[in-house]
Amino acid sequence: MVRNLSLAFAILLLLPLSSASQAVAPAFLGEPDAPRIAALRDGSIAEVRKGKGGRSLAFQIVLEDGTRGYFKPKQSFSAAHWYSEVAAYYLDRELGLGRVPPTTGRVFRWSELKKAAGSDDRVGELQIESDGTLRGAFIWWVPEPLKRVRMGRQWERWIRVQRVLPITPYQRPVDYRADLNRRPGIREATDPHRPLAKAPDVEQRPAELSDLIVFDYLTQNVDRWGGGFTNLRTRGAGGALIFLDNGAGFWLGEQRLGLMEARLKALQRFRKSTVAAVRALDVDAMAEQMQQDPLAPVLNEKQLDGLRQRRQAVLDHVETLVARFGEAAVLPW
C-alpha cells in the first residue's frame, strides 16, 4: 500500500489517532459550544422575523436571554435538509475544524412562527406536524458582520498542483453542465468576463478553501459555489472562513454524486492535519454523538454508510496524488 509513498506520508496514514471530538471540547473558532447549544435548545422565544434571502423559508429568532439563532425548518423543498445542517455540525466537530456555527435540532410551535411568515407562498412547503409543531435545525447567529470572499477567475490555482483547469466544477451545477457541453478544445469556458484571481486576501485562505472542499465532499453539499460565491463568508474582513449553509447535503438517494466527485478530483493540495482528521474519523462514534441531539436519529444507516464511502474516497485520492506528485506538493500546509 505504501510502496510509492514517502515515509512521512505513510506514517500519517497509519498512526492510530483518536477522534478529534474526544481530544478537545466542541468549539466554534475556539469559543466553547456548550453555552450556545444549551441556549438554542432550551431558550424561550422573544422575537421572530422571517429570514432574508435563500430559496427556502427560514426564521431569525431572538431568545429571551439575547441569544440569536436561525431556524431552518423541515420542508418539502428538495435542497433544504434540516438534518444536513445538524449532521454537518457534528461532522465538523468530529474533524476538529470548528468552522460550522453551533447547531442543534429543535421543535417550535407553528403558532410561534406563523405571524412572521405572513402570506409567504413557501408556507405551503413547511412540513408542520399534526400536533402543530415544526421540526428543524436551529443555528447560532454569528454576531459580527460576515464578509464575502471575492475571488477572481482561475482561483483554483491556489489549491492545485497542476495549474491548468479549463472547466471548473466550483460553480453552480447548471453552469458546470453547460461548460461541459461546450465544443471540444475550448481553453476556458467558465466565466470569461470575470477578472483573473490575484493573490489570496490572506495567507491561510488556500488551506481554508481546501478544507472546505473536503468538508463539502464529505457532506455532499452541492450548494456552495456560484451566485457570486455568496456562501463563502468570513468572520470579519480577512477573518476565518466559516462553513455556512450546509442544508443541501446528506442526500437520501445516490451517495456518490458526479459533481461532488469532480470537485474532489480537482482538489490537489491539502492541509496535513485535515487529512489526518479524515483518516481518524470514526463514523460510528459520530453517530453516537448525534444521538444526543433532540431530534435524533439525524441520519439513517444509508447516509452514514455513504459518509464512510466518501471518507475513504478522500484518503484514496490523497494517496494517489502523493504517489504521483510527491508529498511536498500535495501536502504543503
Query: What pLDDT was estimated at residue 161?
Result: 97
Q: Are 80 and 49 in contact (CB under 8 A)?
A: no
The C-alpha R_g of the chain, in whole angstroms, comes to: 20
3 state DSSP class of 42:
helix
Cα(165)–Cα(174) distance, rounded to whole angstroms? 18
Q: Are 211 and 203 in contact (CB under 8 A)?
A: no
Domain boundaries, the chain: 26-142, 147-330
Whole-number Cα distances in Å, 25 to 29, 145, 182: 12, 26, 49
Cα(198)–Cα(176) distance, rounded to whole angstroms? 23
Q: What do you get for the CA distance between the two ends of the chain, in Å?
A: 24
The number of C-alpha atoms within 13 Å of 151 and in the hemisphere containing its C-beta is: 25
How do 241-242 and 233-235 pair as beta strands?
Answer: antiparallel
Bridge partners of residue 28, in order along the sequence: 31
Cα(247)–Cα(10) distance, rounded to whole angstroms? 35
Q: Are 312 and 49 in contact (CB under 8 A)?
A: no
The grid cell for 89 is: 455540525
Where b means 16+ CB within 10 Å and e means fewer, 6-17 reads eeebbebbeeee
Query: What pLDDT was estimated at residue 15?
Result: 40
The grid cell for 176 is: 458546470
Could you tell me which of 271, 266, 320 has the C-alpha nearest to residue 157?
A: 266
Q: For 245-311, give the secondary structure using H, E and C.
A: CCCCCCCCCCCCCHHHHHHHHHCCCCCHHHHHHHHHCCHHHHHHHHCCCCCCCCCCHHHHHHHHHHH
Q: Are 110 and 133 in contact (CB under 8 A)?
A: yes
Chain Cα centroid distance, residue 93: 12
Q: Show pLDDT as tens, one digit a residue, over the chain (333 residues).
A: 434 444 344 434 434 344 444 457 899 999 999 999 999 999 999 999 999 877 889 999 999 999 999 999 999 876 789 999 999 999 999 999 999 999 999 999 999 999 999 999 999 999 999 999 999 999 999 999 899 988 888 899 999 999 878 888 998 888 888 888 875 655 555 666 678 888 999 999 999 999 999 999 999 999 898 766 778 999 988 999 999 999 999 999 888 989 999 999 999 999 999 999 999 999 999 999 999 999 999 999 999 999 999 999 999 999 999 999 999 999 999
CATH class of 26-142: alpha beta
Where b means 16+ CB within 10 Å and e means fewer, 80-99 reads bbbbbbbbbbbbbbbbbbbb
3 state DSSP class of 132:
coil
Q: Are 129 and 109 in contact (CB under 8 A)?
A: no
Burial of residue 237 (number of CB atoms within 10 Å: 0-12, 13-18, 19+): exposed
